[in-house]
Structure 1
Amino acid sequence: MKKIFGALASLSLAACGPQIETVSFKDGLPSQEMAKLDVPSKTSQRIDDGVATVRAQSYGELSGTWLVTGGTVLFVNGVTLWTLGSLNFVAGFEPTSDDGSTAVWGPHNNDWEGITWKLTAARTAPNAFKYTLEAKPRGSADSEYAAVITGSHTVAVDDDGKAIKGYGEGRFDIDYDKVARLPHQDSKRGRISFHYARPNPTAAVTVDVDLKEFVNDAAAPDTAAYRYSQVPGGEGSFEFATDSNIHWFDPTRVALERWSIKSRWTAKGEGRADVRATGGDLASPVTLNECWDTDFRSTFLDGSAPSQVKWGTESAGCAFIGASYSTR
């Protein structure tokens, strides 16, 4: 009878699965690479969002839609660099306190920006955490602290319950209304939300970004969505959508259209972008389709506008046959 009970106990423990390793607070925060977007590029090619307009003029020129894709990726990566860079700057110090369930870093001063930071992280599971990064102008009262970044992160574990360092999933929100109160910050306003997932070294990476009532250089708030997916060493895709007046040159047509682009590429870099504008002052959707080769040179261009310049053939010039528009 004792043997039977012992066997049942062993089966019960096995059914519960391996015990998850307890991850340290420092290893429980996302790195800059966790939410970074990677797209194919050539070392001789510079993607500059200053020329990020759909402006391919002839067959064989650098693809205009690829420049749009690359320029937008630079923008998203810039936000990620600032956000997780600030987080890891503070977490690079030893915690001021750590009782196993909550850790606090700071206050720490960022001398070159005149900002004082404080980071608080709370454990929600052996490998999961919630965190808040607060900031204030250096030398100001503690009542000036504002939560500029809030987020959560779960560290990936293997089949044995061991942490896979550098992998996991989570989300974070940036409140630019609060960031703007800090010294030497630009005029951004609104909120940006990130959700990222890097499950393991071979699984697809996904990063979703949403801008809510975001204001940068323009006066009008912007709402936009970005969706990124990349198989390590393989195919990838990036899509984004925003409301914008494509008839900016015509004062009689001021309504906002929904403008979206979805770009796809192979492991070698050749790819395709499908652009669509709907609503606003448009009587019917307007589309544009472009493909590029491994050097990002335009090989196919088509579109629905009557004045659209066209070149190439889809069957010969495209790595992906058939349009795939963003659903955002």
Structure 2
Amino acid sequence: MKKMFGVLASLSLAACGPQIETVSFKDGLPSQEMAKLEVPTESEQRLDDGLTRVEQTLRGELSRTWLVTGGTVAFVNGVTLWSLGALNFVAGFEPTSDDGTTAVWGPHNNDWELTTWKLTAVRTAPNAFKYTLEAKPRGSADSEYAAVITGSHTVAVDDKGKAIKGYGEGRFDIDYDKAARLPHQDSKKGRISFHYARPSPTAAATVDVDLEQFVNDATVPDTAAYHYSQVPGGEGSFEFAVDSNIHWFDLSKIALERWSIKSRWTATGAGRADVRATGGDLASPVTLNECWNTNFRSTFLDGNVGSQVRWGNESTDCAFVGASYSTR
């Protein structure tokens, strides 16, 4: 009879699936690589200062749409570096307290900032956590703490319930209005939200980013959206959209158009970008299409504007045949 109960108990546990490994608080926080975007090359040109000049490309020159893509990726990675870098700086210390359910790091300071940081993480499952990174000017009262970064993270597990280090999914929000109150911070304002997923070493990685009323050096807030997808060692894509005035030179046309680019590339780096502008003072959408080779040199250029310069043959000079515009 005892043996029978033992067998039944074993079957009941098996039916519930493998027990998930309990992940430590330190391993339950996202690393910078979790939300980092990787493309075959990078540039310094940004979407907002490059879209109006993509038509200046000459055949055989570096693709302007690829330069804009790489520059925008660099911008997003810079935001990721700042946010998750701050998170991991504080988590690099031993927790001040840890009762298994909640862990607190801090208050901590580094040598080059006049800021005090405090990180609180709460376990919601053996492999899942919610966290808040707070900051205040050094020496100020605790009532001055403000939640600069809030987020959640779930560590990926294998079919045996074991944690897969460096993989998982989650999201985090950065509140630049609160960060701007800290010493030596720049002029950024607004909110940025990240949602990332890297399920396993072989699965596609995705990152979605939304900017809400974001202001850097400009006087008009940006509302922008980004989506990234990459198969390890294979094809990737990056699409982004922002509201910007295409008629900046005409004071009678001040409405904002919706600019978007969707770039796709193969494992070799050869790829294609499809650009579209809609709304605002435009009577109909404006489009531009460009392809590049493995050296990122322009091989095909087309568009629907009458004065558009065109070259190349889409069927032979493009890694991807057929336009695919962003839905952002």
TMscore range, shorter length: over 0.9
Contact 1:264–1:273 under 8 Å retained in 2:
yes
TM-superposed deviation, 1:57: 2.5
1:78 corresponds in structure 2 to 78
CA distance in 1 between counterparts of 2:148 and 2:169 reads 20
For each residue in 1:4-38, what CA deviation from the matched residue of structure 2 results, as whole angstroms up to 9, or x when unmatched? 55443322211101111000000000000000000
**1:52 and 1:71 in contact (8 A); partners too:** no
Moved over 6 A (4+): none
Corresponding residue of 1:247: 247
Q: Matched residues in 1 for 2:240 and 2:62: separation?
A: 21
Contact residue 292 and residue 298 of structure 1 kept, 8 A: yes
The 5-angstrom pairing of residues 117-128 of structure 1 reads 117-128=117-128
**Which whole-Å deviations, capped at 9, do the CAs of 1:73-114 have from their partners, x for residues lacking one?**
000000000000000000000000000000000000122121
Equivalent residue pairs, number: 324
**Is residue 2:283 matched to residue 1:283?**
yes
SS at match of 2:218: coil
CA distance in 2, matches of 1:80, 1:225: 15
Q: What secondary structure does 1:81 align onto?
A: helix
Matched ranges for 1:265-280 at <5 A:
265-280=265-280
Residue 146 (structure 2) aligns with: 146
Superposed CA offset, 1:184-233 (max 9, x none): 11101100000000001000000000001111111111111000000000
Q: Which deviations, in whole Å up to 9, do the C-alpha atoms of 1:240-275 show, x marking residues without a partner?
A: 011111111111111111111000000000000000
Counterparts of 2:108 and 2:287 in 1: how far apart (Å)?
51
Matches within 5 A, 1:229-248: 229-248=229-248
TM-score, normalised to structure 1's length?
Answer: 0.96
Distance in 2 between residues matched to 1:144 and 1:55, nearest whole Å: 50
Distance 1:297 1:195 in 2: 32
- Name the structure 1 match of 2:58: 58
Distance 1:146 1:93 in 2: 20
| Contact persistence 2:57–2:298 (CA under 8 A) | no
Distance in 2 separating the partners of 1:18 and 1:47: 46
| C-alpha contact (below 8 Å) 1:240/1:260 kept by paired residues | yes
Which residue identity is paired with 1:47? Answer: S
Unmatched runs of 5 consecutive residues or more in structure 1: none
Tell me the TM-score normalized by structure 2.
Answer: 0.96
Per-residue deviation at 1:47?
A: 1.3
Q: Give the counterpart letter for 2:240 in structure 1.
A: F
RMSD: 1.3
State whether residues 206 and 230 of structure 1, in contact with CA within 8 Å, keep that contact through their aligned partners in structure 2.
Answer: yes
> Could you say which residue in structure 1 is the equivalent of 2:259?
259
> Could you tell me how far 1:139 is from its partner in structure 2?
1.3
Cα pair 1:49 1:72 within 8 Å, conserved: yes
Correspondence for 1:47 among 40, 43, 49? 43
Q: Which amino acid aligns with 1:60?
A: G
CA contact (8 A) 2:55 2:309 kept: no
Show the counterpart of 1:87. 87
Q: Find the residue that maps to 1:74 and give its secondary structure.
A: helix
Q: 1-side partners of 2:252 and 2:226: how far apart?
A: 30
Give the aligned partner of residue 33 of structure 1. 33
Equivalent residue for 1:13? 13
In structure 1, what residue type is equivalent to 2:43?
A: I
User: Following superposition of structure 1 onto structure 2, how do residues 78-117 of structure 1 map, counting pairs within 5 Å?
Assistant: 78-117=78-117
Q: Give the residue type in structure 1 aligned to 2:44.
A: D
Percentage of identical aligned residues:
84
Give the letter for the 1:294 counterpart: T
Aligned positions of 1:172-251 closer than 5 A: 172-251=172-251
Kept after mapping to 2: 8 A contact 1:56/1:298? no
Match of 1:296 in 2: 296
Gaps of 5+ in 2: none
Q: After TM superposition, list the pairs within 5 Å mapping 1:130-169 onto structure 2.
A: 130-169=130-169
